Amino acid sequence: MGVHRVLALATAITALAVPGAAVAAAPPTILSAGIDAEDRLYVTWSLGEGTTYDHAGFATSPESDPLQPGFFDPANVAVSGCPAPPDTCTGTPTSTAFRSGDSVARDRRYFVKVTAIAGKGDYATSPIWVVDETKPQKLGKPPGGPTPATNIPAIGRPYMAAPAPSASVSVLSLPTTVSGLRTSGARLRVTCKRAPCTLAASLAMNGRPLRRFGSLIGSGTTRTVVLKPTKAGLERLRGRSRTQLKITAAVTQKGETQRVERRLIVRR
């Protein structure tokens, strides 16, 4: 056996002997989740080898407790289950299902995850599922107490966080002469990814607009916008040998706005 293979084998054996090199516990696997006909939340799961059930939690937001990532943020917890004790827990270390004791409000969506424990305090948490996702997300604890059943079940699915809206605007080119401004204009590039956006742009001199432009731009679109002075704007430029102008552009998508401002000097 070569020296390199001997060293590799020795390294592997050493790693297995080091406690910190142990393989992390497998998290629970959620098998189903939803709201039943009585408007009670439920979740079922399988446990990873060598782990025991610790708790299942439903919340109105997928955000975790910053101090205990296996738990949801306490401000948004709707209901949770755990193994006995304490007296309020009805599960066991081998539990693979949980159902809430009372019905829940049906005016919002819910998020669920399950946490197991292995060894001495090694926690493993399942990926998050979302339930009744056609409903809006309403943060905070839902109204307490039983509510009349809607008899409309809802089935959950693995949660995938929606990508953040993405829109941008940039300046491609700026003219240096009045003639270039009149014929070619100032060119902007606007990109709207994953959702439509609106563009508002202006070309101004001393705070007075030479041209305003506004447009709705479709989702997944990149567009080049050309700003040229209107006839009235060109009249304001007449007779000037050197003029400072300002371009302002703002693109808004789902309430988020990106802005760009550029100053330019044009000459005859």
Look-up of token digits 């491609």: 172
Nearest 5°: phi and psi at 264? -140, 155
Element (H, E) at 175: none
Query: In the chain, pLDDT over 90 holds for what percent of residues?
Result: 69
Beta bridge partners of 111: 59, 130
Sign of the dihedral through C-alpha 174, 177, 181, 184: negative
- Tens digit of pLDDT for each residue in 132-176? 999 999 999 998 777 788 999 999 999 998 666 688 999 999 999
Structural domains in the chain, CATH included, are 23-158 (2.60.40.10), 166-267 (2.60.40.1820)
pTM: 0.57
| 3-class secondary structure, 11 | helix
Helix ranges restricted to H, the chain: 3-17, 178-183, 231-237
Element (H, E) at 92: none
Which of the given ranges, 8-12, 14-18, 212-216, has the highest pLDDT on average? Answer: 212-216
* Half-sphere exposure at residue 34, Cβ-oriented, CA atoms within 13 angstroms: 12
User: How far lies 73's CA from each of 65, 127, 242, in Å?
Assistant: 4, 16, 60
Mean pLDDT for 244-263 is 92
Burial class (CB in 10 A: 0-12, 13-18, 19+), 238: exposed
Look-up of token digits 């009670």: 40
The mean pLDDT value of the chain amounts to 87
